[in-house]
Amino acid sequence: MNRPSIAFAGTGTFAVPCLEALKKTTDIKLIISQPPKPSGKKRVLIKSPVCWMSEKLGLQIAIPRNIEDINDKISSLNLELLIVADYGQIIPNSTLKIPKYGCLNIHPSLLPRHRGPAPVVATILNGDCEAGITIIKMDEKMDHGPIVAQERCPLSGRETTSDLEAKLAQKASQLIVKYLPQFLAGNITLREQQHELATYHKLLKRSDGELRWTETAELIERKFRAYYPWPGIWLKKNIHGQEKIIKLLAVELLSGPVPVLAPGTFFWKDDILGITTIKEALKVNFLQIEGKKALTGEPFLRGYEDIIIRI
């Protein structure tokens, strides 16, 4: 049986399991990925996870600044399909029209919920009780096309973005392999999204991690999980006469009575480091002041007692 000829556009870690699965079941003519990005203090250029895996698999790679720039290359491949996952760039209509059967996008949410560039973050931040994978046939609008397949995934309420993205990536790799032959054979009835129910989430910025003391402990705990590993959550405090950033590296909701203190106040009670919010409080298990090593509660108390209220 002939394997379908495809191109695969992907960049981040979410796309890697899909790429590996498709390598076993399709004829991948071309990988399309984003250019290397600077990382770390020295701003060293780092290849995308999809580029690393593509090199390992011996696949041809194109890294255009805009995918339209390689439309002629894509046209020359006589593709049946372009499959997109975690690519990070809008695919223009001029590219969507090239493959024989169009383009499929693998999106880690239950569309039309959480369209946009950060669906896993949005799922956790909103306190959803389930996540999922949706495969759509792409049109010119973002995450807008008709649904090819969809699978739900119940949540425990303890997932971080890192955990959930890895779990959904595995489910996505299984789903695309399962439904791709049916789609190409014309055996799937496409289902229009309920566009009136669509929600969107913007691209994350580092500043999103700064805590606002108008938010409840429940919301901040969700932010901690949603923004893990990046951008994390953090606050500013005056320490020894200087304003410092304090990263909260591990937090959980604190049960029991909460001391009446201004939101954003560290306190020490029953051998637990906590921080108050506008409603309820958080237990802080691990934190780090900029320029210092990470600490648990008791060493933090010993070193910075002047910013902690003992109860």
Q: What is the pLDDT of residues 83-113, one digit of tens each?
A: 999 999 999 999 999 999 999 999 999 999 9
pLDDT of residue 38: 83
pLDDT tens per residue across span 120-144: 999 999 999 999 999 999 999 999 9
- Band of pLDDT at residue 1, cut at 50, 70 and 90: low
Cα 18 to Cα 95, 119, 196, 200, 210, distances in angstroms: 21, 17, 30, 24, 34
The pTM of the full predicted model, rounded to 2 decimals, is: 0.94
173/246 Cα distance (integer angstroms): 38
Strands 81-85, 5-10: pairing kind:
parallel
In percent, the amount of the chain with pLDDT more than 70 equals 100
Mean pLDDT rounded to a whole number for the chain: 97
Q: Match 């790679």 to its residue by tokens.
A: 61
Q: What are phi and psi of 155, to 5 degrees?
A: -115, 150
pLDDT tens per residue across span 267-301: 999 999 999 999 999 999 999 999 999 999 999 99
Q: Match 């320490």 to its residue by tokens.
A: 239
Domains and CATH numbers, the chain: 3-195 (3.40.50.170), 205-308 (3.10.25.10)
pLDDT tens per residue across span 198-245: 999 999 999 999 999 999 999 999 999 999 999 999 999 999 899 999
Is residue 65 predicted with pLDDT exceeding 70?
yes
Average pLDDT over residues 240-264: 95
pLDDT tens per residue across span 26-50: 999 999 999 998 877 778 889 999 9
pLDDT tens per residue across span 73-85: 999 999 999 999 9
Asked if residues 75 and 98 have their Cβ atoms less than 8 Å apart, the reply is: yes
171/153 Cα distance (integer angstroms): 9
Q: What is the dihedral of CA 117, 123, 124, 130, to 10 degrees?
A: -150
Which residues are annotated as part of the binding site? 109-112
Q: How many CB atoms lie within 10 A of CB 267?
A: 19
pLDDT of residue 174: 99
Which residues are annotated as part of the binding site for (6S)-5,6,7,8-tetrahydrofolate? 109-112
Is residue 172 predicted with pLDDT exceeding 80?
yes
pLDDT of residue 200: 97
